[in-house]
Each structure stands twice: as structure tokens, then as C-alpha cells.
Amino acid sequence: MSGHLRGLARLVGRHFRWIAAVGTLVGLGLALYSQRGAIADFDWSLSWPAFIAAVCLFALPALLQGISFWVILRSLGVPSRFGETLVIWSRSFLLRYAPTGALAFVLRVRERERLGASSAAVWTASAYEQLASLAGGAIACVVAFAVAGSRPPLIAIGVCAAAVGLAVAIRPRFLGSLAQRLLAARGIDVPTLMRGRMLVVAIALNVAGWLATGAATWTLVNAVSERPTPPVAWLIGVYAFAWLLGFLVPLLPGGLGLRDGTLAVLLATRFGTGPATAIALALRLANTLGELVAVGLVEFLYAARRLRAGRRLMTATPPDQ
């Protein structure tokens, strides 16, 4: 059996790019197919400026999450370059749409030399990234509901307490060093731990992304709904709670289905079932396109920088005699 598994691993390794491309296309295809109702029903003639604005705003949280991944790597002592880190992160971010999302982490490990990191450092940074993302979303959810004068869901409060508690506990001067030794005894290498204040920075970047998400949600809801638009804080809380449920349930690419259903149920308390479903699907479509815009922007800037560097090299190289 182990021989068959090794053979499968070698096959996947040789054809990883094709497998990753097909998996991503399938995941994105399913995501967009699930939003065909929003594409058909959206009032493009009246609301396209608001939709474009929402797409651009939805691109900001993705970019901030990529920056937080770079901050995490640097705080772990990995000499990763900003541009290389963002382009590798953006490609892995896109790969999370592939079924199970596991290919995203495979890509990071495969590109570890470009990051200047070991496999263990990549896995450690990815774990910290997931914690920062979860903590940021949970904090945004609880605080937003409180600001809006609503009681946060108990699940959100529990997730927030657990995520913040874990972030505090794994500091090197608290329980982090003990956990590092216990994991090492079980063959799990955690080469370096993040300082507490750097983890706070990573979490803060994710929280800042929720402000952009709230602005995007308010912009789109205000454009498509004839009813009074709820406060931004309430929309952030609702969207963050739906995102939390999608984050916590594995195997769903980008929280597909669960997040949209939860968001529609919560929005229905203000807009009614039919309009809320349409708004939820429109928000998912705008969010998906916003993430694609973020990935495309990173790829464009990276390609432009490499092109400029190549031209400078050609200019600096004397012609052959």
C-alpha cells in the first residue's frame, strides 16, 4: 500500500501544475455556477457602478491577508521578499477554491525555496495565518454586533474567546515553548514561535479587512435594496458570522453554500426571504470577483516588476564585442 501511495505522490508531484489548474477551475466553476441566479437577476443597468465599487472593496481584505502572511513569515525569521511572498500567497489563495483546499498548502511547500523557508516554517506560518484570520473574523463579528446594539451569536462569542485565548496561550513566554517541545517529541517540527505583538499585528490586518468588507457589503446592499440599509456595523457582524461558519466547516471551497445560506437567513430578518437570498448571492459573486481582482493585481504587478528588472539587466549588460 505504501508503494502505491508513494507512486501516487510522485505522479501528483510531476503533474502538480495541471492538477492545481484543473482543481481551481473546477472549484471556481462550481462557485460561479452556484451564483448563476445572481448573475441573471442582478440589475446590471442600474447598479453596475455600485457592483464594481463593491468588487474593488472586496479585493482589499484578500490583499491585507496576503500582507499578514508576509508579516508572519518575517516574524518567524524567514527572509522572504515581499513581492515573492505575495505572488505565492495569491496563487495558494486561489487554489483554496479547489476541492478540499489542500492544494493551497501543497503549493506553498513546493515554493518554499522562493520564500526562503523550510517546509516546517511554511507549515508554521500557515497555521499562524489561519489563527490570525479566524481571530480577526471572530473579533470583527462580536465587536460589530455590539456596536450595532445587537447581541452577538453565542457561537461567535465562543469562537472569539477560543481564538483569542489560543493566541495568548501560544506566546513564547507563556505556553508556546511548552507546546513547541511537546510537538517536537511527537515528530512535529515548529522551528520558531511568533512574538505576541507580531501576532497582534497579523490579527489587526485581518480585522482591518473586515472594515473594507463592511463597506463593500453596505455599498451593494444600498444599491440593490429598496428598503433602508442597515448600519455598516450590523452588516459586518452578519457577514462575519456567516464567514465564521464557512471557515469552521472543512471541505467546502471558500465556505461555498453554508456561508451564503447563513447570510441569506440573517439578512431575511431585515429584507424578507426572497430579497435576502438575492442579496446574499450578489454578495458572494462580488466577493469572488473581488478575490480574483486581488490575485490578478498581484500577478500583474509582479510580472511588471520582473519585466522592468529584465530591461534594467539588459541595459546594464555591455554588448558582446
pLDDT band at 199 (very low <50, low <70, confident <90, very high): very high
Amino acid at 3: G
CA–CA gap between residue 147 and residue 296 (Å, rounded): 35
Rounded to an integer, the average pLDDT of 19-38 is 54
| Bigger pLDDT: 67 vs 32 | 67
- Residue 61, Cβ density class (10 Å: 0-12 exposed, 13-18 middle, ≥19 buried): buried
* Residues recorded for the chain: 321
| Bigger pLDDT: 124 vs 21 | 124
- Residues ≥6 apart with Cβ < 8 Å to 273: 264
User: What pLDDT is recorded for position 263?
Assistant: 86
Let me know: does 244 contact 155? Beta carbons within 8 Å: yes
Q: Lowest-pLDDT range, 41-55, 171-185, 291-305? A: 41-55
Mean pLDDT (the chain, rounded): 81
- Residue 54, Cβ density class (10 Å: 0-12 exposed, 13-18 middle, ≥19 buried): buried
Flag whether pLDDT at 25 surpasses 70: no
Flag whether pLDDT at 73 surpasses 90: yes
Flag whether pLDDT at 114 surpasses 70: yes
Flag whether pLDDT at 7 surpasses 60: no
Sequence ranges of the domains in the chain: 2-305
To the question of pTM greater than 0.75 for the whole model, the response is yes
Quote the DSSP letter at residue 173. Answer: I
Residue 216 cell numbers, joined? 463593500
- Residues ≥6 apart with Cβ < 8 Å to 196: 167, 168, 171, 172, 173
pLDDT band at 278 (very low <50, low <70, confident <90, very high): confident
User: What pLDDT is recorded for position 5?
Assistant: 35
Q: Lowest-pLDDT range, 33-47, 96-110, 282-296? A: 33-47
